[in-house]
Amino acid sequence: MSEFDGRGAIVTGGASGIGAATAARLAAEGALVAVVDRDAAGAFALAESIPNAIGIDCDVRDTAQIDATVAQVVAEFGDCSLLVNNAGVGDLRPMHTVDDNLWHRLLDVNLTGTFSMMRAVLPHMLAAQRGAIVNNASLSGLAPTRNEAAYSAAKAGVIALTKSGALEYGPHVRVNCVAPGFISTPLTIAFQQMPDTFEPIRDSIPLQRMGTAEDVAEVIAFLCSERAAYVTGQTLIVDGGLGLPQAGTDAALAALFAKFSAQG
C-alpha cells in the first residue's frame, strides 16, 4: 500500500515548477491529484502524464472558481484531505514604484488565494476528521531582500496564516508551510539565463547549487505524510543553507585565504 492511497489532493499552481513536481510526487505515492492552474492547457497536459490525476482550470483569485474546484474534487475523488497551496506570482521593483494594481495582484494570488483555498477545503477535512495542508511561502517571507516588499509581505502573511490554521484546526488537520530559497522554476528563469549574475548567489549557498523543484516537492510530500504526524504550524526552509546568517565578509575572507595559501 502506498503512502497516499485513496487520498484526494489539490495542488494549485500545479502546471509547472514546484507544483508540477509536487503533483507527480504525490501521484507516485498513490494520491488522486487535481492539478489546478490558470494555465489550463498546462494543467491538463500534466494530468495526462501522471497516474490518477485530473486537470482543473482555476484562478485562485476567484472564489467561485475555487468553490467549483473543491466541489469537483470531492465529487470525482470522494476525498479532499490533502491541499498544497503553491500558486504564486512574483515581482522585483522598489517599494515606491509598486502601484495599487500590482500590490493587489501579488497579495490576491499569494496570500488571499491561499486563504480562500484553505477556507473551501477545511470543512471537508473537518468532516472526514483528517487533513494536511502545506502552503508554499518563501525565504523572502522570513528575510526579505531589496525590491520585493509586496511579495515578501504576502509570503510573510502566508506563514502567519499557516500558524493560525494549525492553532485552529488541530487535532485532525495539520497545517505547515515550506519556505524555498533559490529554486529552478519559471520564477527564477532570469537568473538561469544569466549564469554570471547567479554565480555570486550560488557561491553564497553552502550547498553550492540552485535547488530543484523536486527538492521542495520531497519536503512537501513529507509534510503531507504520516511521517510528519506530529508536525504542525511549522515553516520548513528549503534553501541549501542560503538563509543562514552571514557576515558579508565571506568573499573577502576566501580571497585572503587563497592568497596566503598560495604563499605557502
pLDDT at residue number 224: 98
Q: Give the total number of structural domains in the chain.
A: 1
**What value does the mean pLDDT take over residues 163-180?**
98
**Cα(114)–Cα(11) distance, integer angstroms:** 11
Short-list 135, 133, 113, 109, CA closest to 123: 133
The burial class, CB within 10 Å (0-12 / 13-18 / 19+), for 240 is buried
What's the grid cell of residue 46? 500534466
Question: pTM of the full predicted structure?
Answer: 0.91
**What value does the mean pLDDT take over residues 217-225?**
98
Q: Which pLDDT band, with edges at 50, 70 and 90, does 245 fall under?
A: confident
106 in a structural domain: yes
The mean pLDDT of the chain is: 92
**What value does the mean pLDDT take over residues 177-181?**
96
2 in a structural domain: no
pLDDT at residue number 186: 73
Residues 94-119 have pLDDT tens digits of 999 999 999 999 999 999 999 999 99
pLDDT score of 258 more than 90: no
- Residues annotated as part of the active site: 151
pLDDT at residue number 191: 63
76 in a structural domain: yes
Residues 117-141 have pLDDT tens digits of 999 999 999 999 999 999 999 999 9
3 in a structural domain: no
CATH code, domain carrying 204: 3.40.50.720
- Can you give the residue range of the structural domain that contains 85? 8-262
Q: Worst-scoring range by mean pLDDT, 63-67, 83-87, 238-242?
A: 238-242
1 in a structural domain: no
Sign of CA dihedral 191, 194, 197, 200: positive
What is the Cα Rg of the chain in Å? 19
